[in-house]
Chain A
Amino acid sequence: MFRIIKKSLKTGVVTGRYPQSAALQESIDPAAAEKAKPFRQSLVIREVDTGSCNACEMEMNALMNPVYDAERFGIRIAASPRHADALVVTGPVTVNMERALKDAYKQTPDPKIVIALGDCAITCGLFKGSYAVTGPVDRHVPVDVRIPGCPPRPAEILKALTELCGKHDRRQAAGS
């Protein structure tokens, strides 16, 4: 026990210790921001991977680590699309995942937001045109927010999500 407390004291608070995201892409579409109004206090996300290379998944996971700690903005990950306010979709939508994506979309209660994360989800990236790919995501479900990058840095994802919820990362601004 003593060891654990000592370790925690020694480590201190690491939240916000990350470099400023460089000039952010396009800002959030006002229509999407309007749609996100009911979720300002709490945004619950279901992540659906439709064929990404798993780098986007790693960066989504990084959002939940103590450095980015997305939960301090009320952003949480749900285990089921039925508990979600937003779907974060990564990957170019493969032939085999097409139905699962549509099912997950149908199972998400209205009102809902769809966020296409990464270049593959937005344009199919390097996989464009392949026989096994039917995307991009907006061919199958309506997309509200696009976060480009291959993969986007966690700081960029966090910035887009907080902007969507109308919040600012004060700790980060102070910390850097």
Chain B
Amino acid sequence: MADTESADDVLKAEFPPLVQIERTRGDFIQFLVQKELLPAVVQYLHTHPRWHSRLALLWAVDDRPMREGASLHYLFALDNARQWVVLSVELEGADRLFPSITPHLHAAQWYEREIRDMFGLIPIGHPDLRRLVRHEQWPKGTHPLQKRFPWNKVIGRQQGEYSFLHIEGEGVFEVPVGPIHAGIIEPGHFRFSVAGEPIMQLELRHFWKHRGVEKLFEQRILTDAVPLAERVSGDTTVGHSLAYCQAVETLTGLEVPRRGRFLRSLFLELERLHNHLGDVGAICNDTAYSLPHAHCGRLKEQVMQLNDRLSGSRFLRGVNRVGGVTVDLTPDCMTEIPKELGRLDEDFSELESIIAANSSLIDRLETTGVLTARTARDHAVVGVVGRASGLDYDLRRDRPFAAYGELAVKVATYHYGDVRARMRVRVDEIHESIRLIKRLCATMPAGPIAAEPGLDSKGPKTPKAGEWALSAVEGWRGEILYMVMAGENETIHRCKVRDPSFVNWPAIQWAVVGNIIPDFPLINKSFNLSYAGNDL
């Protein structure tokens, strides 16, 4: 069946005009697709039951000066990401039109709107062409990722207002929330339409924090952009820097030593641990049960202080670099870390039993904010949110990176898709992370922590302009994807960043329908998505 069959032969047989592009690096298949044929191929991949496909990433590149015109690339993950297929469409010269696949595939919706804003390419047939990243005050014709757009241009202002979707009728009213919220959280706008208590519709208005990260990547050279990747979303410092480094390593052919890979996994798990601990507490706090919040705050602080002692940064900043890691751990650390986390595990288990014994809390969490498996699949949802809705998918197991090929990761999956399921995924992953860290410490190999460019016999090479690589990391929120394309002289021609938040945000609009507004903060917290990583 699908497990044994390779997608390339089947696709070539189904669609003879497809041209396969030979790729020397990167573990995926690429096809050049004629513009007119694209919707049919997408429709086939999406609907044919043998592939279990998911649109993982959709990005555009302004190919100038290498080629006159822009190109679009569609990454499909088949069989739980065990196979990757990239469909590429090339637009010639001043051609700005491309066929929208949103009518076939809901998950493409935000991607295509983003491409229209950033590149000025127009998805023909897209049902919703309102602006996404550029808010209404941005002047017409501002498309920052076009190559002719200067990165430091001062943009003017114009008048304009976003038109929200309205529900009309007796007793229906709208509740605007944000961009500045009540707690210490990031800015975003939520527009609720309610009739009485239950929410009939929620519309998101995001991208308040758009900082131009992808354009800033293009101003840097390949080895020097790690600090920027770390600041895409501060709470996912290790996840993003690791995904970026892996992409560059694939591009330059650098081989990370085994100890370096083990340390990377260790740091990634520490990051998962402190974030999940914080989330479990915060979910309880949003039901006004503050005791677990206080305890979780204390445990999270304990892990962050451990991070600080290990690396000199509470967020593990600066641990990753292209070729390996910068921080080595002493043998003392290898015994200290498991001991400290063992105590923490016990501590957290006691807390867990206190949480589980509180029936009014559980009552509040169950059946709240249900995201059905169907909706989750339609939005190509990833990570914790997807696993709580029954999407059994974790890159650490399905497409191993760093040291995960040598670890058997137990993936926590629940089927209810409610707030409680999302909390339980986190609780299970806390225990699993601690187990993995202990295992990593016990089996930590000796040797160098980073590949030294120049010393390697094969030797890293400078990528040619236009070469690109993909990389995927299962961060604590979910799948982080990076596409890095090299330019002349080790510059970055294009870097596409996709935080899991970008695909999970639209799904929240469906999870809240039928719930009451006071439950929204709770549902939002159970998703806990990044605004910064989404807005870039």
Chain A residues within 8 Å of B, Cβ to Cβ? 3-4, 7, 11, 14, 18-19, 47-62, 64-68, 77, 79-81, 91-92, 94-97, 100, 104, 125-127, 129-133, 150-151, 153
Contact = CB atoms under 8 A, between A and B. Distances in A.
B300 A65 contact: yes
Given A7-B350, A54-B530, A49 B210 contact: no
Contacts of B153: 131
Given A53-B234, A54-B235, A127 B295 contact: no
Given A53-B234, A65-B298, A100-B187, A94 B180 contact: no
Contacts of B207: 96
Contacts, number: 154
B177 to A, nearest CB: 12
A60 B297 CA distance: 12
Contact of B298 (A4, A11, A47, A150): A11
14 contacts: A4-B291, A49-B180, A50-B187, A54-B532, A55-B235, A57-B184, A67-B297, A67-B298, A68-B301, A97-B179, A127-B216, A129-B151, A130-B211, A131-B212
Contacts of A150: 231, 317
B233 interface: yes
A131 B185 contact: no
A11 B346 CA distance: 12
Contacts of B182: 79-80
B228 interface: yes
A50 to B, nearest CB: 8
The 6 closest A-B pairs by CB, nearest first: A55-B234, A65-B297, A79-B182, A53-B234, A132-B212, A130-B212
Given A52-B532, A126-B216, A126-B231, A94 B208 contact: yes
A59 B313 CA distance: 12
Contacts of A48: 180
Contacts of A54: 186, 233-235, 530-532
A130 B207 CA distance: 15
B212 A53 contact: no
Interface in B117-168: 135, 137-138, 144, 149-155
Interface string B517-531: 000000000000011
A51 B211 contact: yes
B310 to A, nearest CB: 13
Interface string B197-221: 0000000000111111101100000
A94 B535 CA distance: 11
Given A7-B350, A126-B216, A18 B208 contact: no
Given A54-B531, A94-B210, A96-B208, A130 B152 contact: yes
Contacts of A97: 179, 187, 208-209
A58 B209 contact: no
B232 interface: yes
A53 B305 CA distance: 20
B359 interface: no
Contacts of B150: 131
A62 B208 contact: no
A49 B187 contact: yes
A53 B184 contact: no
A127 B301 contact: no
Contacts of B304: 62
Interface string B331-360: 000000000000000000011011001000
A82 to B, nearest CB: 12
